[in-house]
Amino acid sequence: MTTKRAAIFDVDGTLVDTNHLHVVTWWEAFRQAGHHVPMREIHRAVGLSGGDLLDHLLGDDRDPDEDKQLAAAHHALYATYFERLPPLDDAGDLLRALAGRGWKIVLATSASGAELSALRSAIEADDVILGATGADDVTDGKLAPEPVQQARELAGVPSERAVFVGDTVWDMEAAVRDGVVPVAVLSGGIPRAELEAAGAHAVYWDPADLLGCLDSSVFADRAGDAEGR
């Protein structure tokens, strides 16, 4: 029986400290288009794909012809940060530690193209990242299970051999729907109670906290399962 196992990671808010940059740049894109959307509502929508985020914040009755303009404005504003996106503490070290324990490292993110490249550059762990599933690779973004499923399939493992780490309710719901173990970090700014209610198996402060707890985490449990088979 296979002993392969996959550690799947969201990126924004999980490995790179970008959620509030997304909030500000979406807020400005909305403002430029004449929409008043409170930042607290934008924050709760971060992690959804662009189309789902607009559905969530502006509703189905909005003018769909405006969507491309809003997405382009957000991208242009956010792109000004590409060269200085801040990785969360020990994000790269966490991925390397898991890879050193035999985990296949895959990313599942709503980013794509130049944005995903900038995020990967910030993490500085491409030497251990097997691959990534981005917005261009899926039909439905999180909270649908497709991003997690495709990332898991990149690693060639069944759902029971995978753990997904994310920072939003959407991440947890996508993981639950795909049948992988959901693990949450608080670095994206979503309260612990909401992450647990969405299915989080365990909650850590940030990647550094998870790295320090690996031996008592679900990653240690899954490693033990593999070695015993």
pLDDT the model gives residue 62: 85
Q: Return the DSSP state at 102.
A: T
The whole-angstrom separation of Cα 98 and Cα 123 is 15
Task: Give 47-63 pLDDT, tens digit per residue.
Answer: 998 888 999 999 887 88
Q: Is the pLDDT of residue 1 over 70?
A: no
SS3 101: coil
Query: Do 10 and 168 form a contact (C-beta atoms < 8 A)?
Result: yes
Six token digits for residue 40: 């607290």
User: pTM of the entire structure?
Assistant: 0.93
Stretch 7-20: mean pLDDT: 98
Task: Give 110-139 pLDDT, tens digit per residue.
Answer: 898 999 999 999 999 999 999 999 888 888
pLDDT the model gives residue 98: 98
Q: Do domains 5-17+86-227 and 19-80 have the same CATH topology?
A: no
CATH domain 19-80 topology: DNA polymerase; domain 1 (1.10.150)
The whole-angstrom separation of Cα 55 and Cα 63 is 11
Q: Is the pLDDT of residue 170 over 90?
A: yes
Task: Give 202-229 pLDDT, tens digit per residue.
Answer: 999 999 999 999 999 999 976 545 443 3
Residue-by-residue DSSP string for 22-53: HHHHHHHHHHHTT----HHHHHHHBTB-HHHH
Taken in order 155, 161, 167, 172, the sign of the CA dihedral is positive
pLDDT the model gives residue 19: 97
pLDDT the model gives residue 137: 86
Cα separations (Å) of 219 from 44, 104, 120? Answer: 28, 12, 22
Q: What is the mean pLDDT of the chain?
A: 93
Q: What residues have CB less than 8 Å from 190, skipping those under 6 apart?
A: 44, 167, 168, 169, 184
Six token digits for residue 85: 């996106």
Q: Give the pLDDT band of residue 22 (cuts 50, 70, 90).
A: very high
pLDDT the model gives residue 222: 62
- Domain with residues 5-17+86-227, CATH architecture: 3-Layer(aba) Sandwich (3.40)
Query: Do 118 and 167 form a contact (C-beta atoms < 8 A)?
Result: no
What percentage of the chain reaches a pLDDT higher than 70? 96
Q: Return the DSSP state at 144.
A: S
pLDDT the model gives residue 146: 94
Strand-by-strand arrangement of the 103-108 sheet: 129-133, 103-108, 5-9, 162-166, 181-185, 202-204
Domain boundaries defined on the chain:
5-17+86-227, 19-80
